[in-house]
Amino acid sequence: AQTVTQSQPEMSVQEAETVTLSCTYDTSESDYYLFWYKQPPSRQMILVIRQEAYKQQNATENRFSVNFQKAAKSFSLKISDSQLGDAAMYFCAYRSEGQGGSEKLVFGKGTKLTVNP
Amino acid sequence: DSGVTQTPKHLITATGQRVTLRCSPRSGDLSVYWYQQSLDQGLQFLIQYYNGEERAKGNILERFSAQQFPDLHSELNLSSLELGDSALYFCASSVGLVSGLAEAFFGQGTRLTVV
* A11 burial type by CB count under 10 A (0-12 exposed, 13-18 middle, 19+ buried): middle
Q: Is the pLDDT of residue A23 over 90?
A: yes
- B61, amino acid identity: L
Residue B104 touches chain A, beta carbons under 8 Å: yes
Mark yes or no for CB contact A47/B103 under 8 Å.
yes
Yes or no, beta carbons of A44 and B106 under 8 Å apart: yes
Exposure class string for B1-19: b at 16+ Cβ within 10 A, else e: ebebebeeeebebeeeeeb
Picking from A3, A14, A18, A13, the residue whose alpha carbon sits closest to that of residue A75 is: A3
If you average pLDDT over residues B32-53, what whole number do you get?
A: 89
Q: How many CB pairs under 8 A join A and B?
A: 74
Confidence of residue B104 (pLDDT cuts 50, 70, 90): confident
Instruction: Give the per-residue pLDDT at B98.
Output: 63
Q: Do residues A87 and A114 make contact, with C-beta atoms less than 8 angstroms apart?
A: yes
Given this model, what pLDDT does residue A55 score?
A: 84
Q: How far is A105 from chain B (nearest CA, A)?
A: 7
Q: What is the mean pLDDT of residues B55-75?
A: 94
Mean pLDDT score of chain B: 92
Q: Strand runs (DSSP E) across A3-100, as ranges? A: 3-5, 10-14, 19-21, 24-26, 33-39, 46-52, 60-61, 64-69, 74-79, 88-97
% pLDDT > 70, chain B: 94
pLDDT (average), residues B85-92: 96
| pLDDT interval class at A104 (50, 70, 90) | confident
B92 touches chain A (CB under 8 A): yes
Between B73 and A28, whose confidence is greater?
Answer: B73
Q: A102: nearest CA in chain B?
A: B55
**Is A43 or A11 the better-scoring residue by pLDDT?**
A11
Residue B99 pLDDT > 80 = no
Chain B residues near residue A91 by CB distance under 8 angstroms: 42-43
Contact yes or no for A108 and B103 at CB 8 A: no
